[in-house]
Copies of this chain bind each other. A is one copy, B any other.
Amino acid sequence: MDLLRQRILKEGIVLDGNILKVDSFINHQIDPVLAYEIGLEFYKRFSDLKIDKVLTIETSGIAFALFTAYHFRVPLVFAKKHQGKNMLEDVYCSKVYSYTKEKEYTISVSCRYVYPGDRILLVDDFLANGQALLGLIDIAKQAGASVLGAGIVIEKGFQPGGKVLRNQGIRLESLVVIDSFKDRKIIFREDEK
């Protein structure tokens, strides 16, 4: 997605530890017009599917998942993060390890909002190690729902998440894939489309 790539080149900052800072338009300040276009792009790429709902995790996936759900005219459900281990009733839970924060947390979704037979599209802002998406897939499986695909705004192609998910048969659409950071320069993979 060229609009997104240009914006990353213009405003993205590469930090130590292969961290890409895009908090001026993705995950602290959000450009709602870009988010609208991102949602529309996911809608187009998955428009051959009959989707019942969009599923993401709080917080920074919500904006992109919301516009995707808006274009599909289906509900958005966001999984909640808990730092404690206390389980609530009537929720599906999964444990997710964050490599960035070096800790495990629990995500949960109410049983009232994911049903057996639901056809689910996952949306998230970043894909690196894939732990967050694997947690959402686990929750969908517990609920008896099917994950039909996953839309990712920025995939770090040099980390294993994309491969792990594709190997599981998940249809993954990443709007940009970053192959490496060379001397703090962002190298994109050629568009796969």
Residues of chain B with a CB closer than 8 A to A73's CB: 32-33
Task: For the complex formed, measure the closest distance between the CB of A111 and the CB atoms of chain B, giving whole angstroms.
Answer: 11
A20, chain B: closest CB distance, angstroms: 16
* Chain B residue at minimum C-beta to C-beta distance from A108: B28
A32 & B112 in contact (Cβ 8 Å cutoff): no
Residues of B close to A69: CB separation below 8 A: 30, 32
The A interface is mostly helix, strand or loop, or mixed, namely mixed
Return chain B residues, CB-CB under 8 Å to A28.
77-78, 80, 109-110, 113
**Additional pairs, 4, CB under 8 Å, beyond known A32-B66, A59-B59, A59-B80:** A29-B75, A29-B77, A32-B76, A62-B62
Copies of this chain, whole number: 2
Complex Cα distance, B25 from A67, in Å, reads 15
8 contacts across the A-B interface (CB closer than 8 A) = A24-B113, A25-B75, A28-B110, A29-B76, A29-B77, A30-B77, A32-B75, A62-B62
User: For chain A, which range describes its interface: under 10, 10 to 19, 20 to 34, or 35 or more residues?
Assistant: 20 to 34
Nearest B residue to A23 by beta-carbon distance? B110
Closest chain B residue to A83, Cβ basis = B83
A152 proximal to B (CB < 8 A) = no
A36 CB to closest chain B CB (Å) equals 6
Query: What is the 8 Å Cβ interface bit string for chain A, positions 24-43, against chain B (1 contact, 0 not)?
Result: 11001111110110000000
A58 CB within 8 Å of chain B: yes
Q: Does A97 contact B (CB under 8 A)?
A: no
Identity of the chain B residue whose Cβ is nearest the Cβ of A64 in the assembled complex: B66
Mask for A1-36, Cβ within 8 A of B = 1, else 0?
000000000000000000000011100111111011
